[in-house]
Amino acid sequence: MALFEKYMLMTRGFQNVVEDGKTVGFQIKIRITYYRGISLAVINGLEVTVDGKKYLPEQLRFSTGGHTFTLEEMGREEKVRWPFGEPATLTVLEPEGLKPGLHEVKLEEVIKPPYMPGRGFVAQFTRKMTLVA
Amino acid sequence: MAQQEKTGLKRGVTLYSYQEEFYTRAMTLEDCLAEVASMGADGVELLPEQMVPDYPNPSQSWVDQWFNWLDKYHLKPVCLDTFVDNTWGGHRVMSLDESVETLVMQMKMCNRLGFKMMRPTTGHDAAPEMMLKAIPYAEKYEVKIAFELHTPVTLGSKFIDNYLGLIEKTGTRHFGFTLDLGLFCTRVPRIVSDYHLRHGASEEVVRYAIEAFANRADAQTVDAEVKKMSTKEIDHMMAMFAYRYGPATNDPRDLPYIIPHIFNIHGKFYEMTEEMREYSVPYETILPILMEHGCAAYINSEYEGQRWTQNVYDTDSCEILRRHHLMLKQLLGEN
Q: What is the pLDDT of residues B119-132, one digit of tens each?
A: 999 999 999 999 99
| Closest by Cβ to A36, choosing from B83, B88, B92 | B83
* B308–A37 CB contact, under 8 Å: no
Residue in B with minimal Cα distance to A77: B88
* A35–B50 CB contact, under 8 Å: yes
Chain A residues touching B307 at Cβ < 8 A? 1-3
Strands B175-180 and A38-39: unpaired
Mutation target among A3, A36, A70, A78 for the B interface, most CBs of B within 10 A: A36
β-strand partners of B300: B12, B266
User: Chain A closest CA to B24's CA: distance in Å?
Assistant: 7
Please give the span between the terminal C-alpha atoms of chain A, in angstroms, as a whole number: 34
| Closest by Cβ to B49, choosing from A7, A37, A111 | A37
ipTM: 0.96
Instruction: Tell me the pLDDT of chain B averaged across its residues.
Output: 96
DSSP chain A: --SSGGGSEEEEEEEEEEETTEEEEEEEEE--SSSS-EEGGGEEEEEEEETTEEPPGGGEEEEETTEEEEHHHHTT--SSEE-TT--EEEEE--TT---SEEEEEEEEEEE--TT--TT-EEEEEEEEEEE--
Tell me: the pLDDT tens digits for B10-49? Answer: 999 999 999 999 999 999 999 999 999 999 999 999 999 9
Q: CA torsion A89→A47→B236→B153, rounded to 10°? A: -50
Long-range Cβ contact pairs of A127-130 (< 8 A, separation 24 or more):
A127/A9, A128/A102, A128/A103, A128/A104, A129/A9, A129/A11, A129/A14, A129/A102, A129/A103, A129/A105, A130/A11, A130/A14, A130/A100, A130/A101, A130/A102, A130/A103
Quick one: A65 exposed, middle or buried, by C-beta within 10 A (0-12, 13-18, 19+)?
exposed
Query: Vertex B294, ends B290 and B295: CA angle to 5°?
Result: 55
Chain B residues touching A111 at Cβ < 8 A? 89
| Closest by Cβ to A1, choosing from B53, B87, B307 | B307
pLDDT at A14 > cutoff 60? yes
* A84–B121 CB contact, under 8 Å: no
Q: Which pLDDT score is estimated for B64?
A: 98
Q: Which pLDDT score is estimated for B6?
A: 61
Q: Is A128 on the interface with B (CB under 8 A)?
A: no
Residue in B with minimal Cα distance to A116: B123
How far apart are alpha carbons B49 and B300 in whole angstroms? 18
Chain B residues touching A109 at Cβ < 8 A? none
Q: How confident is the model at residue A133 (pLDDT cuts 50, 70, 90)?
A: confident
* A113–B24 CB contact, under 8 Å: no
Q: Which pLDDT score is estimated for B205?
A: 97
Tell me: the pLDDT tens digits for B184-236? Answer: 999 999 999 999 999 999 999 999 999 999 999 999 999 999 999 999 999 99
Mutation target among B18, B85, B245, B312 for the A interface, most CBs of A within 10 A: B85
Tell me: the pLDDT tens digits for B290-303? Answer: 999 999 999 999 99
Q: Which pLDDT score is estimated for B2?
A: 41
pLDDT at B4 > cutoff 90? no
User: Chain A closest CA to B335's CA: distance in Å?
Assistant: 35
* A114–B307 CB contact, under 8 Å: no
Residue in A with minimal Cα distance to B308: A1
Q: How confident is the model at residue A2 (pLDDT cuts 50, 70, 90)?
A: confident
